[in-house]
Amino acid sequence: MNQYYLIAQLPSLEIASETTALPITEERFYELCKSNLGKRAWKALSGLTLAPKRQNEKSGYSFIDKWNQWERTFRLALAGARAEKMKKPFEGETGELSGKMLQTVRQAVEMEDPLEAERYLTRARLDFLETLRPADAFSENMLFYYALKLKLILRIQQFDKVKGQNAYRKIYGSIMYGGDQEVKE
């Protein structure tokens, strides 16, 4: 297995943020991984997502299963809090929530600026991911950690306030007036 060589050549993501250029693209990362990992690890890595399925499916890796469980619970808690705020019924099981997760979700739902709320939620995800950071820097789990961190940073970098406002106006207009009417400020 060439994972030691692979991990040794990956650039650090420690200084990466929503405003700095990433030292590697997601495509390049996956290209390197595909040619240096075994089939089992590659399958697990290529299946990593920021939006796990609602049904709990075991991946064969405890790291991935912990991430998926936390993210699933986080998303359901967020959906429940949003429904509660809008006084709508919520038909989902949130399960047991930690006090910290509940506080994070409630704070995000109360934010007036959707962009700031998404940044806040992404930072919460990055904070949780740090709790899963493997002690062994050359393990397969480190590659899973790296992939998720890369995905989260890329996600936050894609936010664009003007595009978001335009999309919001178009969606809101179609809900309020039908068709493709856009709501102006």
Break the chain into its structural domains and give their ranges: 3-177
Provide the token pair at 29: 């990362």
Rounded Cα distance between 127 and 100, Å, is 12
What is the per-residue pLDDT for 161? 65
pTM of the predicted protein model: 0.83
What is d(CA 94, CA 73) in angstroms, rounded to the nearest whole number? 6
Q: What is the pLDDT of residue 8?
A: 93
Instruction: Assign 97 to helix, strand or coil.
Output: coil
pLDDT score for 164: 64
Q: What is the DSSP string of 138-175?
A: TSHHHHHHHHHHHHHHHHHHT--HHHHHHHHHHHHHHH
Averages of pLDDT over runs of 10 residues in the chain (185 residues) are 85 81 93 94 95 87 96 92 88 78 94 92 96 95 97 88 68 68 57
Q: Which two tokens stand for residue 77?
A: 């808690």
- pLDDT value of position 14: 84
The span from the CA of 12 to the CA of 22, in Å, is: 9
**Residue 149, CA distances (Å) to 6, 67, 109 in order:** 17, 12, 23
Give the pLDDT score at 172: 67
Long-range contacts of 51-59 (CB under 8 A, 24+ apart): 51/75
What confidence score (pLDDT) does residue 163 get? 66
